[in-house]
Chain A
Amino acid sequence: QKEVEQNSGPLSVPEGAIASLNCTYSDRGSQSFFWYRQYSGKSPELIMFIYSNGDKEDGRFTAQLNKASQYVSLLIRDSQPSDSATYLCAVKATGRRALTFGSGTRLQVQP
């Protein structure tokens, strides 16, 4: 079992819809959770982080964390074609500096 699992997609949604991206992790000692966006041929860029159970909202993005169930999700409201990218979930374990990344979910927003 991979430490961080994501559905590879592609996840296709129409413009204006809500895109829901999910991630599960195996290490119960995980402390912080990050969502990175990666456009094709580019480097990953951080869009959200969360470390407390519940929801965290930032503009059109909402991160949700459930430590008991070991999953973290990202909701993108009012999806735009410019949101089309691969979304990487990353997890940081307590006491460890490095991140463990999932393989990413490719999102396609259809105009």
Chain B
Amino acid sequence: DAGVIQSPRHEVTEMGQEVTLRCKPISGHDYLFWYRQTMMRGLELLIYFNNNVPIDDSGMPEDRFSAKMPNASFSTLKIQPSEPRDSAVYFCASSPTTRRADYEQYFGPGTRLTVT
């Protein structure tokens, strides 16, 4: 199993540009999560999907951020327009459907975004 795949691994862009981050979850996982990690705020949940449907987007900072999951194997997080304060590491994670309390979220390698 290849694990959660994210691309690009690094992104440097100028303020005002559109940024698209991509994620491929582990095959068979029904849940997909987008997180953002910064030194100041730690690891924050942005949005998560279940069976391609957004369930909770309360963590999305503002309208500049949008996320889609057109199918079970692909999700995007888009920032338009980007701002320097969006600089962070963005993680995608997936988990299987289980009624157990000990389910694990598997994290991708992250995308380090720098907005200048």
Q: Which residues of A contact B (CB under 8 A)?
A: 31-32, 42-46, 49, 51, 88, 92, 96-104
B40 nearest CB neighbor, chain A only? A103
A43→B93 CA distance, assembly (Å): 10
CB-CB < 8 A to B42: which residues of A?
88, 101-104
| Beta-carbon contacts under 8 Å, B32-78 to A | 33, 35, 41-45, 48, 50, 55-56
Contact A97 B107, beta carbon cutoff 8 Å: no
A103→B45 CA distance, assembly (Å): 13
CB-CB < 8 A to B102: which residues of A?
32, 49, 51
Q: Shortest distance in angstroms between A35's beta carbon and chain B's nearest beta carbon?
A: 12
Give the number of chain B interface residues (Cβ < 8 Å). 22
Q: Shortest distance in angstroms between B59's beta carbon and chain A's nearest beta carbon?
A: 8
A92→B33 CA distance, assembly (Å): 14
Question: Which of B44, B91, B101, B104 contacts A43, CB < 8 Å?
Answer: B91
A92 nearest CB neighbor, chain B only? B101
A87→B66 CA distance, assembly (Å): 30
Contact A46 B101, beta carbon cutoff 8 Å: no
A83→B53 CA distance, assembly (Å): 38
CB-CB < 8 A to B50: which residues of A?
97
Knowing A97-B50, A97-B55, A102-B42 are in contact, say whether A44-B107 is a contact too (CB < 8 A): yes
A103 nearest CB neighbor, chain B only? B42
CB-CB < 8 A to B105: which residues of A?
46, 99
Q: Shortest distance in angstroms between B30's beta carbon and chain A's nearest beta carbon?
A: 10
Contact A43 B107, beta carbon cutoff 8 Å: yes
Question: Which of A45, A51, A102 contacts B101, CB < 8 Å?
Answer: A51
Q: Which 3 A-B pairs have CB atoms at the shortest separation, nearest pair first? A: A103-B42, A43-B107, A101-B43
Q: Shortest distance in angstroms between B49's beta carbon and chain A's nearest beta carbon?
A: 10
CB-CB < 8 A to B25: which residues of A?
none
The contact string, 1 if C-beta is below 8 Å from chain A, for chain B 79-114, is 000000000000100010000011011011110000
